[in-house]
Amino acid sequence: MALDYRRLRVVSDSRGVVFEPVEANDIERYRNAHVVVSGPGVIRGNHYHKKGEETMAVMGPARVRIKDNAGTAEVDVPSGEVYQFKFPPGMSHAIKNLSNQSNVLMAFNTVVHDPSDPDTVRDVIL
């Protein structure tokens, strides 16, 4: 199992933070983008995608857990940092907000979201 992730550059000042969630040369391959704001202790995800690859920027503090045929792994994203994760089809993923405030993640998928036929399969791993 190879959990593909990296720390993103965050610019922070008194107004807040700015980060680039994906690389410029990757933007055109994505067919869906969505922003998720989660309350304290909330867990999102707990699914995998049948066809789509999902790239996600997660702002900490948060816990990201993945599962595939090789087992499970998890990464804690520290407070104030942003990590980018890439989840290939079939890799279950879940994200937990570890703070007492809302946190943010932004996700990009290579498959168009179709609410009548979603590309997700529920898999509770966190």
Residue 43 domain flag: yes
Q: Can you give the residue range of the structural domain that contains 54?
A: 4-8+29-114
pLDDT digits (tens, 9 = 90+) for 69-85: 999 999 999 999 999 99
Are the beta carbons of 120 and 48 closer than 8 angstroms?
yes
* Structure-token pair, residue 99: 């703070």
pLDDT digits (tens, 9 = 90+) for 10-49: 999 999 999 999 999 999 999 999 999 999 999 999 999 9
Residue 72 domain flag: yes
Residue 110 domain flag: yes
Quote the pLDDT of residue 3: 82
Residue 124 domain flag: no
Both ends of the chain: CA-CA distance in Å?
18
Please count the structural domains in the chain. Answer: 1
Residue 52 domain flag: yes
Q: What is the CATH number of the domain that holds 100?
A: 2.60.120.10
Cα–Cα distance for residue pair 56/106, rounded to 1 Å: 6
